[in-house]
Structure 1
Amino acid sequence: GVWHANSKFVSAISVASIAGLPPFLGFIGKAQILKSLVSINLGILIFSSILAATISFIGYLRLIRLMYLVSPVKWKNNKDSSFINWSTWMLTVGTLPMVYSV
């Protein structure tokens, strides 16, 4: 399908929709929320939502830039990963009681 032929393009379109750019569906929800906030005159909430949308949009732009413009990083295999394994194990064991005690 389209995903296999143009996976980067489809991913960029999906990210743009999530970011809420105007030609995509993600924009409709944001526009309706801002319209209702303007109608009830909540200026600080309007400002904070626009600021949050701008910050998230910058993050989405970084993601699109990484998909298209940056070459893949060659990762080295770290042979001494015992500390990482140990700390991951301890964090997992430490969070299990919090998850299952609810």
Structure 2
Amino acid sequence: MTVGFVAFHYPEPAYFEEFVERVHRVRDVLESAPGCLSVECWVTSEGDAVVSTGQWDSADAYAASFAAVARADVDVAFDERECRPRQIFTLSSR
């Protein structure tokens, strides 16, 4: 069973490009873990949200990738740079 996520992030306009760069740094860490199939960064055509997606070959691989993020020196803080809470959905294949 593959496992994935879709996350919607809403950075303040002044931090939009910085936030895209932050997502790319997190992507690099996630992708370095065994079992990661893909991680991508998207932006909405309106320019109001950054959407990240990912897919792993198992729940264990998914957990290992996020454990690697917790150990890495990457900025994942939610703070005043975002104008509304993130929406994160964990997915599993059927």
TM-score (normalizing by structure 2): 0.29
Q: Which has the higher helix share?
A: 1
Larger radius of gyration: 1
Q: Which has the higher strand share?
A: 2
TM-score (normalizing by structure 1): 0.27
